[in-house]
Amino acid sequence: MDFVNRSLSDVYQYLMGNWEPILAYFTALASIGGYFIARATDRAWKRTEFLFQQMHYLDNDAELREAVAILDGRHPTATVELVFGEASSLGKAPRDAFAVKFDKLLNLFQRLAYAVLKAKTLSKAEIAPFGWYIEKTLGHPLLVTYCEENGFDDLVELAKCLPIEVANPNLARGTGP
């Protein structure tokens, strides 16, 4: 018991004699911890800001809205089959114009896919608000082929592993990244 009392006495004397450097160490550790907490919060905010910008872009860009209307079968004159099919009654100029609009839409989704699969700066859960669009986009065999032939491979890969349950016979579901 005397050993314990002596040890506690020594610890007390050490703490009282060296309180300034000890306080400095604790202050430094608290500052470092605060920095990492603030940085994590800032990164989360940046991700949220990016996702909201992309949603705003998708909702407010006229060309993207038109591509989504075609995708969803609500366009008055065009369908995915007319834009991307071999036997289309649309002329070359209108098909090309619609294809440019689809490229713009697919580029948006490709950026999201890159952020999830390659950069790993976004999670699949964070891009869930875009899931319907991605599933709908790749629910058309012609668009799947177009994506695979035109550099939208990350988008196709992401669509295969999205947790959203939308019937899509064109994609083989995998566990994904």
Mean pLDDT of 91-102: 93
- Phi then psi for 78, rounded to 5 degrees? -120, 150
Cα atoms in the Cβ-side hemisphere of radius 13 Å centred on 136: 16
Measuring CA to CA, which residue among 150, 158, 64, 156 is closest to residue 119? Answer: 158
Mean pLDDT of 120-128: 91
Q: Are 67 and 108 in contact (CB under 8 A)?
A: no
Measuring CA to CA, which residue among 150, 50, 51, 56 is closest to residue 103? Answer: 150
Q: What percent of the chain is helix, strand and coil (3-state, nearest 5)?
A: 70, 0, 30
pTM above 0.75?
A: no
Please count the residues of the chain: 177
Q: Are 139 and 165 in contact (CB under 8 A)?
A: no
Helix (H, G, I), strand (E, B) or coil at 138: coil
Residue type, 11: V
> Which tens digits make up the pLDDT trace of 3-15?
455 687 888 888 7
DSSP class of 86: S
> Which tens digits make up the pLDDT trace of 18-76?
878 877 887 878 778 777 777 767 778 898 999 999 999 999 999 999 999 999 999 99
